[in-house]
Structure 1
Amino acid sequence: MRPHEYDTDVAIIGYGPTGVAAANALGALGVTAVAFERETDIYRRARAVTVNDWTMRLFQSVGLDETVKADMDPTVALRWITYDGTELLHIPFPPGKLGHATSYAIYQPALEQSLRDGAARHGDKVRVRYGVEVTGVDQDAAGVTVNTRDLATGETATLRARYALACHGGEVRTRERLGISLVGSTVDVRWVVVDGKVKRWWPSRHILTFWSDKERPVVDIALGRDNHRWEFPLRPEETDADFATQESLWPLLESVGVSREDIDIHGHAFYSHHVRSADSWRLGERVFLLGDAAHLMPPWAGSGMQSGIRDAFNIAWKLAGVLEGTLPLSILDSYEAERRPNVDFYTEVSVQLGRVITQQLTEEEQAALAAQSDELPPLLWPPFYVAGWFTGPASPDSAVGKMIPQPRAATVNGLIGRLDDLLGDGFAVLGDGVDPTAVLSPDEKAAWDAVGARYLTVRQADQGTEGPDEIVDIDGTLLAWLREYDARVVVVRPDRFVAAADPSGLAVPA
């Protein structure tokens, strides 16, 4: 094969939640992909426990939100309590503004199966090679050569792609072969994670609970379907061997009020928490690191797996634009510029939640936390980016860099649905009661025309429509949001983040 011939557009190394998210995102955009996965089946132990409305909106963009919800339950609240029953903090989850519930309890194996089934819809555009490990990745100015070995037969092969996404998670051998090192620290505490099948309901089982204690803090969380999860730290004198059997786990469960009549234990495992990140999330020009291959965080914010999924969708629409020639090659630089600060934000939230759970807060910090009990905690803040492919600053008082709400909306002929489903999967220029093309300069419109943008006037539900290029905000949340930021016209990217707004300029980002 000559160097400039390709077997596929994108090679995906690893087919866990990040890799399969990338396959779905790329396939939906018409980008061909081949994924390589060492294992022949889904890892059957649940690890991640939640997804929120941002992640669900991503699943919606590939037509899988209703499918994955079938194995999920909305999370209604979060609380911190002590073993004597004292409630330190209780946070009801507010209604979601992104078109979905704020948070969902998941069962990860079921979620991954739904995502794999979703990727299979794309037929030969998205192919998966199970039982195959990647032994090397060589790149040049024109593309990437992926070297592989079939673990069953020993047969070796090569594949030529334009780009490669490293989604191999914590797989050490792949990391070493790619020359990736994760810099940071590992918390010097071992945790045992216990999963159970629910036999009967116990009080407040549906509330995500953190048992706060300096010696034995516990994560107590309902998973999707009829599963439940507890995470217990081992004390300094304890080892994995002390909890090798199910019988040895019952005293831990009984300490938080769970009995043999409540659940059947169906598995347990041991983990350590990491705070680590790669120096760069890009190797050369054509290989990108995603998910746990790029960053690791403690589990307290429920954002580890979700961050990998968001990485995948972020790079996918940018690669699609570059490959079809509508977006400049330089947009790929914005992947890490956008995603790293966001991952750092959730990592810090996770670390601070861990301090609350393990009762490491000072008296002053505890008082400050109690004083903020009526405020929306950072864990539930709407999605935002602080830098990246934007025109103008992504500042707190600007719509730029923030994800728009998703109300119920209607077309001019009365078709009612969620906003994203009516907008389509590309760029959209939205005007608050005004035709956005009348606000754009000729050069600005020509530039947005080049990326295939739609132009829509957004009307209030108590107004009529006047032309075909209009949409009605039935709930009023989008228009209220635009007015909060004094934005009359905004340009919305395929991922529903605002790329530009009239207060700071409507040019295509440089």
Structure 2
Amino acid sequence: MRPHDYDTDVAIIGYGPSGVAAANALGSLGVSATAFERESDIYGRARAVTVNDWTMRLFQQVGLDERVKAHMDPTVALRWVTYDGTELLRLPFPPGRLGHATAYSIYQPAMEQTLRDGAARFGDRIRVEYGVEVTDVAQDTDGVTVTTRDLATGESAMTRARYALACYGGEPATRERLGVNLLGDTLNVRWVVIDGKVKRWWPDRHILTFWSDKERPVVDIALGRDNHRWEIPLKPGETDADFATHEDVWPLLESLGVSRDDIDIHGHAFYTHHIRSAESWRVGERVFLLGDAAHLMPPWAGSGMQSGIRDAFNIAWKLAGVLGGSLPASILDTYEAERRPNVDFYTEVSVQLGRIIKQELSEEEQAALATQSEELPPLLWPPFYVAGWFTGAAAPDSTVGKMIPQPRAATVNGLIGRLDDLLGDGFVVLGDNVDPKTVLSAGEKAGWDALGARYLTVRAADQGTETSDEIVDIDGTLIGWLRERGARVVAVRPDRFVAAADPTGLSVPA
């Protein structure tokens, strides 16, 4: 095989949530990919329990949001309660501003199957090889050679790709071959995770509940479909063997008021929580780490799996631009620059939520929490990046580095839909009641022209339109958001984050 003979654009190592998200994102952008997965079937146990409106907007980007919602239920609130029934805090979820409900309860196996079916839409552009293990990943200046072994036949094969995405999660062999170390800690507590089929409704079953207790804190959460989940720590001296059968775990549920009339247990497993991150999310020039291959966090913020999915969509549009020749290879440096601080943020949120659940807060911290209960908690903050492919500083009160809201919108001829569905897949420059082309300098416009950007004037619903270069913000949320932050014109990336705005400069980011 000659170095420049490529079998595929991108090799995807591992086909869990991060890998299948990458396949959908790449496929939708016209990029070919081949995925390699050891297991022939989806893991049958639910692990992740939620997705929020940011992640759902990504699914919308590849046309799968309505399909995955068929197996999900909106989450309306979360609360902290004690075993005696005292409610410490209840947090209703606000209406989503990204075009979807703020959060959804999921059943992960069903969601993953929908994503796999979605990737199959792209035919030969996205190929998946099941039942193979990756035995070597070698890169050179021109590409990556992935060597695999068929687990059934023992036969080896090589696949040549331009880039590779390592999405292999907890499987250590590939990580070791790449020479990647995960830095951080493994928490010294073992957890039993119990999944049940709901037989009848109990009070507030649909509210995500944290049972706060120093010895036995519990996560109590409705999953999608008719499933429910409890995550319960083992006490010192308890081992997995103490809860070997379903009968052994029933006393744990009964202490929460759950009876055999409420559910049938259909599975339980044991997990240990990690707080770890790879020392680098890029190996050489052509291999990138995503999801659990790059980072591990406790489950309290429900952001582990979601962070991997966001990794996939972030790197996908950048790879598509590089492979298509519209973006320089240097933009790939911004993958880790954007994603690592965001993952660190959610990891810290998760750690702090865990402290609340385990009643580890001091009296001063508890008092501060009570005074902040009316504010939007960090877990529900709108998506943002603190650094990356932007022009100007991503300051808290600016539009730069933030994801734009997604209102209901309308075209000039009256077609009504969600904003993203009307904007298309690429770059777009939006002007608040102004033609953005009249605000851009000649050099700025030439830069966005080279990226194939659209230019649209955003009108309010009480205004009229005349040309196809106008769009109506029916809900007023996008216009209101721009004016709150003092922006008249913004350049928006394919992932709907603002790359540049007129207060800090509208040139294409360096």
Distance in 1, matches of 2:177 and 2:111, equals: 29
Residue 172 of structure 1 deviates from its aligned partner by 1.4
Structure 2 unaligned blocks of 5 or more: none
Distance in 1, matches of 2:178 and 2:169, equals: 13
Residue 214 of structure 1 deviates from its aligned partner by 0.1
Residue of structure 2 equivalent to 1:92: 92
Give CA deviations for 1:378-406 in whole Å, capped at 9, x if unaligned.
00000000000000000101100000000
Cα RMSD for the two superposed structures: 0.4
- Give the alignment of 1:340-359 within 5 angstroms: 340-359=340-359
Is 1:493 the counterpart of 2:480? The answer is: no
Distance in 1, matches of 2:411 and 2:450, equals: 24
Distance in 2, matches of 1:491 and 1:256, equals: 51
Give CA deviations for 1:422-472 in whole Å, capped at 9, x if unaligned.
000000000000000000001110110000100000000000012220000
- Give the alignment of 1:36-435 within 5 angstroms: 36-435=36-435
Q: Secondary structure at the match of 1:251?
A: helix
Residue 241 of structure 1 deviates from its aligned partner by 0.3
Residue of structure 1 equivalent to 2:34: 34
Give CA deviations for 1:58-92 in whole Å, capped at 9, x if unaligned.
00000000000000000000000000111111000
Distance in 2, matches of 1:219 and 1:406, equals: 31
Residue 245 of structure 1 deviates from its aligned partner by 0.5
Residue 5 of structure 1 deviates from its aligned partner by 1.0
Distance in 1, matches of 2:484 and 2:362, equals: 36
Residue of structure 1 equivalent to 2:13: 13
Q: In the alignment, residue 482 of structure 1 is paired with which amino acid?
A: L
Q: In the alignment, residue 251 of structure 1 is paired with which amino acid?
A: P
% identity of equivalent residues: 84
Residue 179 of structure 1 deviates from its aligned partner by 1.7
Q: In the alignment, residue 121 of structure 1 is paired with which amino acid?
A: R
Distance in 1, matches of 2:386 and 2:67, equals: 32
Residue of structure 2 equivalent to 1:483: 483
Q: Secondary structure at the match of 1:459?
A: strand
Distance in 2, matches of 1:175 and 1:319, equals: 22
Residue 176 of structure 1 deviates from its aligned partner by 1.6
Q: Secondary structure at the match of 1:348?
A: helix
Distance in 1, matches of 2:266 and 2:114, equals: 22
Q: In the alignment, residue 48 of structure 1 is paired with which amino acid?
A: A
Is 1:467 the counterpart of 2:467? The answer is: yes
Q: Secondary structure at the match of 1:67?
A: helix
Q: In the alignment, residue 75 of structure 2 is paired with which amino acid?
A: T
Distance in 2, matches of 1:92 and 1:443, equals: 47
Distance in 2, matches of 1:163 and 1:332, equals: 11
- Give the alignment of 1:420-459 within 5 angstroms: 420-459=420-459
Distance in 2, matches of 1:146 and 1:352, equals: 40
Structure 1 unaligned blocks of 5 or more: none
Distance in 1, matches of 2:174 and 2:141, equals: 22
Distance in 2, matches of 1:160 and 1:375, equals: 51
Give CA deviations for 1:204-263 in whole Å, capped at 9, x if unaligned.
000000000000000000000000000000001100000000001110000111000000
Give CA deviations for 1:132-174 in whole Å, capped at 9, x if unaligned.
1100100000000001000000000101000000000111122
Distance in 1, matches of 2:65 and 2:331, equals: 28
Distance in 2, matches of 1:111 and 1:174, equals: 26
Q: In the alignment, residue 356 of structure 1 is paired with which amino acid?
A: I
Distance in 2, matches of 1:174 and 1:368, equals: 45
TM-score (norm 2): 1.00
Give CA deviations for 1:363-390 in whole Å, capped at 9, x if unaligned.
0000100111111110000000000000
Q: Secondary structure at the match of 1:422?
A: helix
Q: Secondary structure at the match of 2:479?
A: helix
Q: Secondary structure at the match of 2:316?
A: helix
Distance in 2, matches of 1:94 and 1:70, equals: 22
Residue 264 of structure 1 deviates from its aligned partner by 0.2
Q: In the alignment, residue 187 of structure 1 is paired with which amino acid?
A: L
